[in-house]
């Protein structure tokens, strides 16, 4: 089947074309790692990366964000003034976008979170296929590498080029804008890729197993190794818990209400008014994180809130591996 491809050496040009209409966000190297950032120089973007330190959530739910400004004297308050700019997320792995959809679910349901949802407007996603490293385990949580759901364009990686597949109207517009860069290519199916890191069984039955695992010894064994530093939550693409605080600026009546990423692994997270602590034991908190990923929300949505990006495993100084923990239960 004839198809169109973007040669690897034309990527900076493809980014330059996008930059005419959009803010472009993509992965760039940072030391030994990668980060998503707004692309200034089209040459800095890379499509060949394992995972970034932080996921895309930082663009929709910033690490710290002022949500309300208030004045104690006049009793006036004003929400955040969000400027919606068209953005292209260029070179995004499929688990990353799946995670964004899960955040959407969390922020739309119940009381919808306009501060988040506004930032999700006018987003265009250009996907790219990837080769799983030792940490990825997306296939085990229902996200095989050829899943292209939700992308406007998907780029499948081959040796010298990326096969271009436009899937939406926006995607076709971009494909047309790239017209002069594209070359014909043969398409014989997506390359088969294997994951080294995997769960012993499919996600379908995980929920039931979880419900019987409340007193499993793995929670205490894992907690023995855990610092409760919170890294796993911060780098997780589907963790969205935040803490809200009010601050009055010294000597004025003005203040702000801000929210910042929080971690359910920190003891203080479970401290409530009156000083009570409802998950005082470290193993309670370890179990809570896993339950949030594989049980509680699955009950509602039938998809785990883990997308298998492997960030929490890669970045854990204490070497706690969510896959090993899960496999102990399965």
Residue 152: CB minimum distance to another protein, A? 26
Paired with 246 in beta bridges are 257
Contact 91, 47 (CB under 8 A): yes
| Cβ distance to another protein smaller for residue 1 or 273 | 273
Sign of CA dihedral 42, 47, 53, 56: positive
Q: Given the rule CB under 8 A, which residues bind another protein?
A: 30-33, 35, 53-54, 58, 63-64, 223-231, 234-235, 245, 247-252, 260-263, 266-269, 271, 282, 315, 317-319
The two three-digit tokens of residue 27, written as one number: 């992965």
- From CA 252, how far away is CA 37, in angstroms rounded? 36
The two three-digit tokens of residue 326, written as one number: 């899960």
| Cβ distance to another protein smaller for residue 62 or 150 | 62
- From CA 7, how far away is CA 11, in angstroms rounded? 7
| Cβ distance to another protein smaller for residue 26 or 142 | 26
| Cβ distance to another protein smaller for residue 40 or 121 | 40
Name every residue whose Cβ is closer than 8 Å to that of residue 151 and which is 6 or more positions away in sequence.
92, 94, 97, 125, 126, 127, 167, 171
Residue 95: CB minimum distance to another protein, A? 19
Residue 262: CB minimum distance to another protein, A? 8
Q: Which of 36, 47, 48 is nearest to 14 (CA)?
A: 47
185 SS3 class:
strand
| Cβ distance to another protein smaller for residue 209 or 226 | 226
Contact 197, 132 (CB under 8 A): yes
How many CB atoms sit inside 10 A of residue 67's CB? 15
| Cβ distance to another protein smaller for residue 6 or 56 | 56
Contact 261, 242 (CB under 8 A): yes
Residue 257: CB minimum distance to another protein, A? 13
Residue 200: CB minimum distance to another protein, A? 24
Residue 119: CB minimum distance to another protein, A? 17
The DSSP code for 252 is S
- From CA 244, how far away is CA 257, in angstroms rounded? 7
| Cβ distance to another protein smaller for residue 184 or 251 | 251
Residue 317: CB minimum distance to another protein, A? 5
């Amino acid at each position: 089947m004839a198809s169109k491809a973007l040669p690897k050496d034309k990527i900076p040009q493809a980014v330059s074309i996008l930059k005419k209409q959009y803010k472009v966000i993509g992965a760039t190297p940072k030391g030994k790692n990668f980060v998503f950032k707004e692309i200034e120089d089209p040459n800095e973007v890379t499509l060949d990366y394992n995972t970034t330190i932080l996921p895309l959530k930082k663009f929709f739910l910033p690490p710290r964000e002022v949500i309300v400004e208030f004045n104690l004297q006049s009793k006036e308050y004003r929400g955040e003034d969000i400027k919606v700019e068209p953005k292209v997320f260029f070179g995004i792995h499929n688990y990353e976008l799946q995670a964004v959809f899960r955040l959407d679910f969390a922020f739309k349901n119940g009381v919808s979170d306009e501060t988040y949802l506004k930032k999700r407007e006018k987003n265009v996603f250009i996907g790219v296929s990837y080769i799983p490293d030792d940490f990825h385990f997306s296939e085990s949580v229902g996200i095989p590498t050829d899943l292209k759901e939700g992308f406007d364009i998907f780029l499948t990686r081959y040796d010298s080029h990326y096969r271009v597949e436009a899937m939406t109207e926006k995607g076709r517009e971009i494909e047309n804008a790239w017209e002069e860069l594209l070359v014909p290519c043969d398409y014989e199916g997506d390359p088969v890729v294997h994951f080294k890191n995997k769960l012993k069984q499919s996600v379908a039955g995980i929920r039931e197993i979880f419900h019987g695992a409340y007193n499993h010894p793995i929670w205490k064994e894992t907690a023995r190794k855990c610092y409760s530093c919170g890294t796993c939550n911060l780098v997780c693409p589907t963790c969205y818990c935040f803490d809200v605080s009010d601050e009055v600026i010294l000597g004025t009546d003005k203040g702000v209400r801000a929210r910042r990423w929080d971690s359910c692994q920190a003891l203080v997270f479970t401290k409530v008014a009156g000083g009570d602590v409802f998950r005082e034991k470290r193993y309670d908190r370890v179990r809570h994180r896993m339950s949030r990923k594989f049980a509680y929300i699955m009950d509602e949505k039938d998809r785990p809130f883990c997308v298998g990006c492997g960030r929490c495993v890669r970045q854990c100084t204490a070497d706690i591996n969510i896959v090993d923990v899960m496999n102990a239960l399965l």
